[in-house]
Chains A and B, each alone.
Chain A
Amino acid sequence: MALNDLTPQLRTQMDRVEKWVGFFVVVASLIALGAMSYYAYSTAVRKGWTKKKVPYFTLVSSADGFKVGDPVMLMGFKAGVITAIAPNAPGEYYNVTVQFDIWEPYYGYLWNDSDVRLKSGLLGGKTLEVSKGGQSGMDIKLSATYKEENGKFYVWKDPSGDEKEGKWSSEPIDKNFMGYMLFCYESTDVMKSANDLVNKVSEGLPGVLSLTNKISELLEESTRLMASANGTVQELEPIVHNVQAITSILTNQNGGLGEWAIPPEMNKEIVDTLGSVKGTVQTSETNLVMLSQNLNETLVNLAQITSNLREQVQANSYMLSSISSLVLDLDDLVQGLKRNWLLKGSFSPQTNAPPQSVLRPTLGGKR
């Protein structure tokens, strides 16, 4: 219906409506524009586009679990993102290069002894975590990895070859610069445990050496004692010989002590008894030998079991971190369930009764 077909009153009314509609459209557009701008800005902030950043790279054995855009963590903060993942040449020792940017102010925390550690997530994802500098205990001259001068970044170059000390690059880095290389610990737990073990062994070694010295002294003393004992035994030999002669007379001749004290019947019974005792002892000895053999086999099996366990733990170095992540993720899940309107009743907060000032009435006038 054309506007000319309307009555003048209706036409005036329609003009007013059109103005309001236009106003509404303009306001709505402005709001939408504002929201989009805010979204774009917050996305840029989240992704670090507005921040200064410097490149780093590390070398890992597998790209499994990584993707470009994944966060890089430092001390629990999102400190940067992965920018590139590329396979190395077939002859290289390490298989994959992972490049990442670190944003300001976090690159100030990374020194030349910083490293990268891998954290495994619940669903197979991995996170790069860079460590703060100055904590490795390495005996090197510590330095920041980058320095900024006049808005340009200079990278630290560690000593190589005959150089005794590192130095800053003479030229600022450009867009083609690959980054500062950080070493990656892929199986942190096992390596750290091994390192700790070696340290403990080195601490305990002086004690062991002192013990061996004492044992050596003891053995020397024993040798001297044996030598003097040998002399004594030689002196005792004639006496023993005489005693032997006397006892043979007592036991074997008529009127000797043996026949006088033990009648022939009893002697026979004693011989029989001793024979059966000997048989029992032999049987017991056989059983004991079998028992000790079985025990030995059991111990060997036990050793194999523990060895297998150890191998399994070493083979899967991510086991412990996975369990840790699982616990954290489960906690997140439960926290989420607590907020659901249907389930929140099941998680009523446990509040302790407020504490009271304790006061007991005085008992008796006599006390």
Chain B
Amino acid sequence: MKNIRESLYLACFTISGLFFIGCSTPAPEPVPFPVHEAELLEATAINVMEAGNWKASEETWGEVARKYALLGRRDRQAIALHNQSYSAYRNGNYQSARALASEAASINLQGSEWWKNQILLLQIEQKTSQESRQKRMEELLSLAETSNLEEKETALWVLLQNEYGSGLLREGVADKANGVIHRALEKVNAVDRSTAWALNSNLAETEEALGRYDAALTSWNKLLEEAKELADRELIATALAGQGRSLWGSGRDYEAIMILQRAAKNFQWLGMEKESSELLELIEQYMIKSAVPRESYFMPIDTKTEYSEESQ
């Protein structure tokens, strides 16, 4: 009996010892410094891009891509190239953006990242070459059909349809664009709020183009509220511009001009000079049509003293 007890004690002691020793995990593999450095730089690039500093973002992503290329991390290099391309696109460097997105696509070859590269290329080519865009769009729509993208990568399919719809709208085929965007909106649950907002915004524009100003105005009012919830100044400015256009279409000229001025001011604050000047030209056209003296409505904007729509 005594021997059994001693054996039990010994067994318990041995098992406890093994438990303590065996449960200690081995030392974690140290991360090599170049990898650590690349990851740190990548985190910086993400922060800079989220802050909307596109110039710094373009440079930083370029550096990240170079570091990952040296480390042989092709997947991360492709992501860095894509984000560098997007930053270049936002900076207006369209040729550079196109080359970078093409390089990223040539690394990815297929899959969701490749589709993202292609959609970005569509956006870039919208600014550079309509012919290439048209050709690429046809190829992508055909490929999406054959590869059943709608079921496999619904979010990407919605983005592609949005590009297709907005392209049609730009070409003046508003009724077809309306149908495409309506179909994409059926899958709106698969995308985030910003993408859903963009789809609804494009749909509102098709309503404008089809002359349904009341429906468009209702949509823009709703979109403005959502944009304020999202606290996105670009979306707020876009919604205001849509409101202004719809009001003008509905014959409410005075309100329209006031709101369009607010929209132009917001675009100016965002540094989107092109959009701002387009709206101001629109206001001017409206004023000429209705023979309103320009000086009575439009005051020069002092961006250093005014407040934005977001803070109102």
* A-binding residues in B (CB < 8 A): 20, 23-28, 39, 42-43, 46, 49, 76, 78-80, 82-83, 86, 104, 113, 116-117, 119-120, 123, 126, 159, 162-163, 166-170, 177, 194-195, 198-199, 201-202, 205-206, 209, 234-235, 238, 242, 275, 278
Contacts and interface: CB of A to CB of B under 8 A. Distances in A.
B162 A362 contact: yes
Contacts of B79: 355-357
19 contacts: A338-B28, A339-B24, A339-B27, A341-B23, A355-B46, A355-B79, A357-B82, A357-B104, A359-B86, A359-B159, A360-B198, A361-B194, A363-B166, A363-B201, A364-B169, A364-B205, A365-B168, A365-B169, A365-B170
B194 A360 contact: yes
A358 B49 contact: yes
Question: Which secondary structure dominates chain A's binding surface?
Answer: loop
Interface residues of A, number: 21
B93 to A, nearest CB: 16
Contacts of B27: 335, 339
Nearest to A365: B169
Nearest to B206: A365
Contacts of A360: 194, 198
Given A339-B27, A341-B20, A355-B46, A362 B126 contact: yes
Contacts of B201: 363-364
A224 interface: no
B25 A344 contact: yes
Contacts of B49: 358
Contacts of B168: 365
B46 A361 contact: no
B300 to A, nearest CB: 24
A307 B114 CA distance: 67
A364 B113 CA distance: 24
B26 A355 contact: no
Interface in A234-290: none
A365 B205 contact: yes
A357 to B, nearest CB: 4
Contact of B25 (A341, A355, A358, A363): A341
B86 A361 contact: no
